[in-house]
Structure 1
Amino acid sequence: MESTTQQFCCMMIPNLVNPHSSPWAVLPAGIHSASLQEVERAFASNAKRRRLFVGLRQACKALRYAGCTKLFLDGSFVTAKPIPGDFDICWDPSGVDPNRLDPVFLDFDDKRRNQKLKYGGEFFPFTWQAEPGKTFLAYFQNDRFTGQPKGILSVDLTCEPLE
């Protein structure tokens, strides 16, 4: 009898909170693991959010194709803002094959216009500096309105059925 191993990736997105009077509720401080299915269920709740989720999913496929195994999701998409502008992703560059990476992920011209046109969001390698002394991974964990800590989502692309 042949033995098989099945890998399960179980997560749960926490409820949004607003302890610091931001314009809308945000994820509680910390990095919270989530599957794309959970992200869709929690945040793709209207036509604009569904369009953004389609772009997010396509970006995940493209990043995984290049060898990316993990990304972190931020932006108004993962808040209670009724009509979010976009999503923001910082992705793990370790193991990424630059020959397979969609060049738009490294196109930062015109406020990342081409990234937003193609996928609906903005993308940054998580090790890059967002501001002096702060990587994008750290930068994403602060509320831009209050300066207070807030949460982001972590998506393990090795667990995602993106075919």
Structure 2
Amino acid sequence: MTLNRYNIIVVIMIPALVPILGTPWDVLPPGVHGATFAEVEATFAYNLPRRALFVGLLNASVALARCGCRFVFLDGSYVSGKPIPGDYDACWDPDGIDFDKLDPIFEDFDNGRANQKARYGGEFFPSTLIEAGLGAAFKDFFQIDRFTGKKKGILSISLSSDDTVSRRIKR
């Protein structure tokens, strides 16, 4: 009798940060990089301020998932080499959202998104909303380094298939 064993391991890893001349911190390489919350936690929640921001991001993402949101895109100094970011920037895919269930805080942009920051530690925009300065949808705007205008990366987190989100929704 012959035993065949297969070891199939699929690993999705957040890419290493890269320098951009003129930017104070290393950033994600250009592109939209898939990630899970477990990977975001392992890579970016490495000190107390970053941990607090991660918890807020996760709570906000669970709230978005509960109304049908399928993707969150993560940007800002949180996904950079900045040791202590003040917040994170995120945008969410409005496709499939039940807007009757959407927490109004995700549409509250008053006072520099102060209510969003107070509740979740970061800012949220619909991914298709046009950013006024460059005239690009937020998903595209987030892929431009604010210091140099060069391309950089963002993270895409699938809320519909993320184990961390699924466990929290079932509670």
TM over 0.5: yes
Q: Distance in 1 between matches of 2:149 and 2:128?
A: 21
**Does structure 2 retain, via aligned residues, the 8 Å contact 1:9–1:159?**
no
Aligned partners of 2:44, 2:29: CA distance in 1, in Å? 15
Letter in 2 for 1:57: L
Query: How far is the alpha carbon of 1:133 from its aligned partner?
Result: 3.1
Native 8 Å contact 2:75 2:155 kept in 1: yes
Q: Are residue 89 (structure 1) and residue 90 (structure 2) matched? A: yes
Indicate the residue corresponding to 2:100 in structure 1. Answer: 99
What's the TM-score, normalizing by structure 2?
0.88
* Alpha-carbon contact 1:74-1:152 (below 8 Å) kept: yes
CA RMSD of aligned residues (A): 1.4
What does residue 16 of structure 1 align with?
17
Cα distance in 1 for partners of 2:58, 2:44 equals 13
Shift of residue 22 of structure 1?
Answer: 0.7
1:10 deviates by: 4.8
**Who is 1:35 aligned against?**
36
Distance 1:129 1:15 in 2: 29
Write out the 4+ residue segments of structure 1 that deviate beyond 6 Å after TM superposition. Answer: none
Unaligned residue ranges in structure 1 (runs of 5+)? 1-7
- Unaligned stretches of 5+ residues in structure 2: 1-8
Q: How far is 1:20 from its partner? A: 2.2
- Aligned partners of 1:152, 1:106: CA distance in 2, in Å? 22
Higher Rg: 2
1:134 counterpart residue number: 136
**Distance between the aligned counterparts of 1:29 and 1:21, measured in 2?**
16
CA contact (8 A) 2:20 2:27 kept: no
Q: Distance in 2 between matches of 1:159 and 1:61?
A: 12
CA offset digits 1:43-79 (Å, max 9, x no partner)? 0010000000000110110000010001100011000
What is the TM-score normalised by the length of structure 1? 0.92
> Kindly, what percent of the aligned residue pairs are identical?
54
- Give the distance between the partners of 2:10 and 2:117, measured in 1 at CA: 29
Contact 1:9 1:35 in 2 (8 A): no
Distance (Å, rounded) in 2 between the aligned partners of 1:10 and 1:96 = 29
Number of residue-to-residue matches in the alignment: 156
Query: What SS does structure 2 have at the residue aligned with 1:25?
Result: coil
2:108 alignment partner AA: D
Map residues 52-131 of structure 1 onto 2, 5 A cutoff. 52-131=53-132
- Counterparts of 1:10 and 1:102, CA distance in 2: 34
Name whichever of 57-66 and 11-20 sits farther off: 11-20
2:160 maps to 1:153:
no
Distance in 2 (CA, whole Å) between partners of 1:158 and 1:92 is 12
